Amino acid sequence: MINEGKYPFYVKLSCTLLSLAIIVFFLCQASQILVPVLLSILFAILLRPVVNFYQRLRFPHVIAVLFAVALFVLLITGIIFFITYNIGRIADDWNKIKGNLLIHWHSLQQWIKDTLHVSYVQQEKYIQQASENSLGSGPGMVHTLSSFTDAMLNLVLVPLYTFLLLLYRNLFLKFLFKLFKKHREVLQEILMEVKNAVQNYLVGLLIELCIVSTLTSIGLVIIGVNYAVLLGVITGILNLIPYIGILVAMALSIVATLTTAGHLSIIFGVMAVNFIVQLIDNNILVPLIVSSKVRINAFVSILAIIIGGAVAGVAGMFLAIPLIAILKVIFDRVDELKPWGYVMSDDLPKTFEFNNIRLPQFNAGHHDNYSDDEADVQADKKPDEEPPL
């Protein structure tokens, strides 16, 4: 056996950093291949209970998998059709939207001229220069066409991969148990925890999506915005993309309000609705529904989202949190990797002292009622059921 103690710390650190660099480079180069596969794995884990339901109804395995994937595809197709149909209706009001935009644009130009003393000619010159620098020529169009082609290809590959993963689930599980024959019990615990973490996280996201969509739709109906239900659904879907999703949803909602009226009061109303819904989402829904399922600290979560966005765009940002949760489960079960699992955890005390005053932590409600040693004992218990992937 190799004696790890004979290697100095700087050698171990260099090997660790080199390994991380190779992994990141591999992810960047293979993102177009890995993203559909990873999305399919998440959807397969989410649809596994549906397959079990059909099998309890005496459906053959192939038919059960086919029905589960078909139901999922029909649901996604229905949402896409609902959005595109209503967007077409909004496009019919484009002349009205354009007229209201011009009204607000002229008002903004007048304010800039009176406040900043920039003439109309100079403003138009600045806008023209910015447009030329941002649009460019060939590469931007080529990149756009390439992204559209990749998205259309993923629409075909993801359902196909999901079907095959569910169909050959037992084959992949047996392969993993054969590959890690000496660590069968640890592998079984990891698979069980990964399944529970991913399923609970995705179900929590779906619940959050429904609640955010409902609250936004109600708020927009109250202030009298056209297409309130459509904008509420779009807001709920885009809210799944951390940080930037809600900004895009707000911009779309503001543009849609221009089909109703040209005054600014309704625009401020839309901004207020989105702000209130975000307060409810960030302070109630996310801590209770989503964060309680995946206990990752905020720093690691934000860093993972940024890296995921740099590697694979929007899909990478969506995959970042569940992948980090899976890595944490694996790290917590491997002795050599436990420090990495610990640095990802949300390990905060229930209270902290400030000038002899004991204040509660924000996430105190998410901690279990037993100590760290008892938590290790609980985590080492073997699950009774077979860990489905």
Q: What is the pLDDT of residue 65?
A: 93
Q: What's the alpha-carbon Rg for the chain, to the nearest Å?
A: 25
User: Residue type for 119, please?
Assistant: S
Question: Which residues have CB under 8 Å from 185's CB, separation 6+?
Answer: 382
The pLDDT, as a whole number, for residue 250 is 83
Q: What is the pLDDT of residue 343?
A: 84
Residue 63's pLDDT is 93
pLDDT of residue 148: 52
**Residues in Cβ contact with 42 at an 8 Å cutoff, skipping those fewer than 6 apart:** 198, 202, 319, 322
Average pLDDT over residues 92-120: 72
Mean pLDDT of 117-129: 75
pTM over 0.85: no
Reported confidence tier of residue 361, pLDDT bands at 50, 70, 90: very low
Residue 132 has a pLDDT of 62
Least Cα distance to 216 among 229, 194, 232 occurs for 232
Structure confidence at residue 294 (pLDDT): 64
Q: pLDDT, tens digit, for every residue of 199-245? A: 888 888 888 889 999 999 999 888 888 788 888 888 888 887 766 67
The answer to which of 5-9, 233-237, 354-358 has the lowest mean pLDDT is 354-358
Overall average pLDDT of the 174-190 stretch: 85
Q: Is the pLDDT of residue 66 over 90?
A: yes
Which one has a higher pLDDT value, 348 or 142? 348
- At 161, the pLDDT band (50, 70, 90 cuts) reads very high
Averaged confidence pLDDT in the chain: 75
pLDDT at 214: 92
- In this prediction, residue 379 carries a pLDDT of 41
- Specify the pLDDT at position 123: 73
pLDDT(380) > 50: no
Listed residue (154, 139, 162, 125) closest to 48, CA to CA: 162
Query: With bands split at pLDDT 50, 70 and 90, how would you rate the model's confidence at 302?
Result: confident
The mean per-residue pLDDT over the stretch 162-179 comes to: 90
Which residues contact residue 157 at a Cβ distance below 8 angstroms, ignoring those fewer than 6 apart?
36, 40
Q: Is residue 372 over pLDDT 60?
A: no
Check: CB of residue 40 under 8 Å from CB of residue 155.
no
Read off the pLDDT of each residue in 319-340 and give the average, rounded to a whole number: 83
Cα separation, 47 vs 52, whole angstroms: 9
Mean pLDDT of 334-363: 61
Taking residues 296-301, report their average pLDDT.
Answer: 79
Q: What is the mean pLDDT of residues 128-153?
A: 55
Please provide residue 226's backbone torsions phi and psi, each rounded to the nearest 5 degrees.
-70, 155
Please give the structure tokens belonging to residue 269.
Answer: 């109303």
The set of residues, in sequence order, having a beta carbon less than 8 Å from that of 269 and lying 6+ positions away, is 223, 225
Give the closest residue to 70 by CA, choosing from 160, 135, 157, 152: 160
- Crossing angle, helix 244-257 and helix 228-238, to 10 degrees? 170
pLDDT at 74 > cutoff 80: yes
- Token pair 């496009």 is found at 91
Highest mean pLDDT (candidates 38-52, 148-162, 222-236, 318-332) = 38-52
Task: Check whether 375 has a pLDDT greater than 90.
Answer: no
pLDDT at 261 (0 to 100): 57
Residue 61 near residue 167, CB atoms below 8 Å:
yes
Task: Report d(CA 201, CA 294) in Å as an integer.
Answer: 7
**What's the pLDDT tens digit per position in 241-287?**
766 677 888 888 877 776 655 566 777 888 888 889 888 887 777 77
* Closest to 90 measured CA to CA, from 274, 261, 227: 227
What is the pLDDT at residue 51? 92
Reference 238, options 268, 205, 198; nearest CA is 205
Helix axes 138-167, 169-179, angle to 10 degrees: 90
